[in-house]
């Protein structure tokens, strides 16, 4: 029997960290599983100096999709939406802003879907797009939620509507660990904004968003079973979490941006050419993802710490911001109007010009991490960065800033043993230069770093195996394809009867 072609519409919420894995999922479905794929790139208004500006996005879209050679992958960039008048100016909330942007973009997406000659029968959304699931039901599409993060965080999202207010209050007020069935408890020092405090209106909004997950036909997660055996098992099999999910769970990762091999590199890239001159595993890469920023004082400490470490480095530098670690996500505010380099401590750039490079705003991270000269990564622990590091066998200094990054940092350092964790002197305070130098030394030079390198290379192999033709993640995506065909037949026979 010839399998009919399935058309899947995938919504990518604003942010490179959501767009990049979504593009990779779309590519896999189109190349390996015979799907027609339409990716809606949901667009929020941004300033030009934001990491998610149109320029960065279109570069990524071009590099990632190889558009000309993939006829069954279509990209629709939605008109930019400005939700700033709906937000509380005193309490900037990244998640709320992304969710509202998704909601405001839905009428456009719906009209696009309705006007298609071969309309999609499958809708895939990420965690910020669950408000689109009623539209999928309305249009008789089967629906999937794609978690571009790990299984542990996915478990929390699925379980969220069932956490009692009492448990949340004990967590928020008494700092008791939050218990998630079958998973590691969330320690208070790693907690998420959505877990405290439960009496705020945001709590109700998150309950509604996460409750929608349960109506989907399945859940895809950007992880693989061997990386997170307990959490994936908890979601797939655990008696409590298992009851909550309506459909199957497919761990499909690690999905990361594919990079051209070195010999196929096009054009001159100053950073990569500089790396070509450096000894193997001698350079530490520092980047805080697409939205991360640090304070002025922290930037000074980091610069001195780097110098003290005496290692070669590449540092993605942004304008410092006070009190908003995700400031570069939509609109990096240029407080003093100075060129970014001016925020670095006196003479830092000239003193380090022979050993390191400072890149402003954005660097080709996937390409850099793949380079053999890279020996360590100071990362904010966004899940894409984590996966890119693991898949290149690079141990990390885990320096979480916001969202679920503190949980990721704990998983990397305590469970997987592939990172050392930066700890500010006090909650919300700075990580001092001495600690920074020590952390870099532990990863790049010490015995501990050698052991971490061995472990991370094992996970690299296990991730590659999961994606291979006989691997668990490839098998999951194959199964999901079969389930989509089944749903499509079911829908069409329901429509006929």
Is 18 noted as a catalytic residue in this protein? yes
Closest CA to 142 of 163, 165, 119: 119
Which x/- pattern over 268-287 shows residues binding ligand UDP (rule: CB under 6 A)?
-------------------x
Q: What is the DSSP string of 219-246?
A: EEESS-TTTSHHHHHHHHT-HHHHHH-S
Is 7 noted as a catalytic residue in this protein? no
Site for ligand UDP contains 400 (CB under 6 A): no
DSSP character for 178?
B
Q: Which entry of 7, 18, 171, 441 is annotated as an active-site residue?
A: 18
Q: Which of 50, 64, 121, 290 binds ligand UDP (CB under 6 A)?
A: 290
The SS3 call for residue 468 is: coil
Q: What is the DSSP string of 37-94?
A: EEEEE--B---TTSTTSHHHHHHHHHHHH-GGG-TTEEEEEPPPB--GGGS-TTS--H
Minimum CB separation from ligand UDP for residue 3, in Å? 32
Within 343-372, the residues that bind ligand UDP by CB under 6 A are 362-363, 365-366
Q: Which entry of 7, 126, 371, 441 is annotated as an active-site residue?
A: 126
Considering the complex, state which of residue 65 and residue 121 has its C-beta at the smaller distance from ligand UDP: 65
Site for ligand UDP contains 65 (CB under 6 A): no
Site for ligand UDP contains 384 (CB under 6 A): yes
Residues in a beta bridge with 251: 221
**Buried b or exposed e, range 374-393, using 16+ CB within 10 angstroms:** bbbbbbbbbbbbbbbbbbbb
Site for ligand UDP contains 393 (CB under 6 A): no
CA-based radius of gyration for the chain = 22
Of 15-23, 194-202, 238-246, 460-468, the segment contacting ligand UDP by CB under 6 A is 15-23
Cβ(19)–Cβ(12) under 8 Å? yes
Q: Which of 26, 247, 382, 393 binds ligand UDP (CB under 6 A)?
A: 382
Considering the complex, state which of residue 247 and residue 382 has its C-beta at the smaller distance from ligand UDP: 382
Site for ligand UDP contains 385 (CB under 6 A): yes
Minimum CB separation from ligand UDP for residue 405, in Å? 7
| Strands, sheet with 142-147, edge to edge from the N-terminal-most edge strand | 73-77, 36-41, 7-12, 122-125, 142-147, 218-221, 249-251
Enzyme catalytic residues: 18, 126
Q: Which residues bind ligand UDP (CB under 6 A)?
A: 15-17, 20, 257, 287, 289-291, 316, 362-363, 365-366, 382-385, 388
């Amino acid at each position: 029997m010839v399998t009919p072609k399935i058309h899947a519409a995938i919504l990518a919420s604003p942010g490179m960290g959501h767009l990049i894995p979504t593009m990779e999922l779309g590519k896999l479905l189109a190349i390996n599983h015979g799907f027609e794929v339409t990716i809606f790139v949901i667009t929020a208004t941004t300033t030009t100096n934001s990491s998610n500006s149109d320029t960065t996005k279109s570069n990524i879209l071009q590099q990632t999709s190889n558009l000309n050679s993939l006829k069954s992958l279509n990209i629709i960039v939605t008109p930019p939406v400005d939700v700033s008048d709906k937000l509380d100016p005193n309490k900037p909330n990244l998640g709320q802003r992304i969710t509202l942007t998704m909601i405001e973009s839905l009428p456009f997406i719906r009209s696009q879907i309705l006007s298609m000659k071969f309309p999609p029968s499958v809708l895939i959304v990420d965690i910020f797009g669950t408000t689109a699931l009623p539209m999928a039901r309305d249009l008789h599409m089967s629906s999937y939620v794609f978690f571009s993060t790990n299984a542990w965080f996915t478990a929390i999202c699925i379980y969220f509507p069932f956490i009692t207010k009492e448990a949340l209050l004990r967590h928020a007020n008494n700092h008791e660990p939050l218990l998630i069935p079958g998973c590691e408890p969330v320690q208070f020092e790693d907690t998420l904004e959505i877990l405290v405090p439960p009496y705020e209106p945001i709590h109700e909004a998150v309950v509604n968003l996460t409750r929608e997950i349960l109506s989907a036909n399945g859940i895809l997660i950007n992880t693989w079973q061997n990386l997170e055996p307990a959490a994936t098992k908890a979601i797939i099999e655990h008696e409590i979490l298992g009851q909550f999910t309506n459909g199957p769970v497919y761990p499909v990762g690690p999905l990361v941006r594919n990079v051209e091999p070195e010999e196929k590199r096009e054009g001159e890239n100053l950073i990569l050419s500089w790396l070509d001159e450096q000894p193997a595993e001698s350079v530490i890469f520092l980047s805080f993802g697409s939205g991360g920023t640090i304070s002025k004082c922290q930037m000074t400490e980091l610069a001195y710490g780097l110098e003290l470490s005496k290692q070669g480095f590449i540092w993605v530098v942004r304008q410092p911001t006070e009190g908003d670690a995700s400031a570069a996500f939509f609109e990096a505010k240029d407080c003093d109007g100075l060129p970014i380099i001016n925020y670095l401590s006196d003479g830092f750039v000239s003193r380090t010009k022979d050993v390191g490079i400072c890149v402003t705003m954005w660097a080709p991270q996937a390409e850099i991490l793949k380079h053999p000269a890279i020996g360590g990564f100071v990362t904010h622990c966004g899940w894409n960065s984590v996966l890119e590091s693991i898949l290149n066998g690079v141990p990390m200094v885990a320096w979480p800033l916001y969202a679920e990054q503190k949980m990721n940092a704990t998983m990397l350092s305590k469970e997987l043993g592939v990172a050392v964790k930066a700890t500010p002197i006090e909650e919300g305070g700075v990580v001092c230069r001495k600690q920074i130098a020590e952390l870099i030394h532990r990863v790049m030079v010490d015995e501990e770093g050698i052991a971490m390198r061995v472990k991370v290379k094992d996970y690299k192999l296990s991730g590659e195996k999961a994606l291979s033709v006989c691997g668990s993640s490839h098998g999951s995506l194959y199964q999901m394809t079969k389930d989509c065909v089944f749903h499509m037949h079911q829908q069409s026979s329901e429509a006929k009867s």
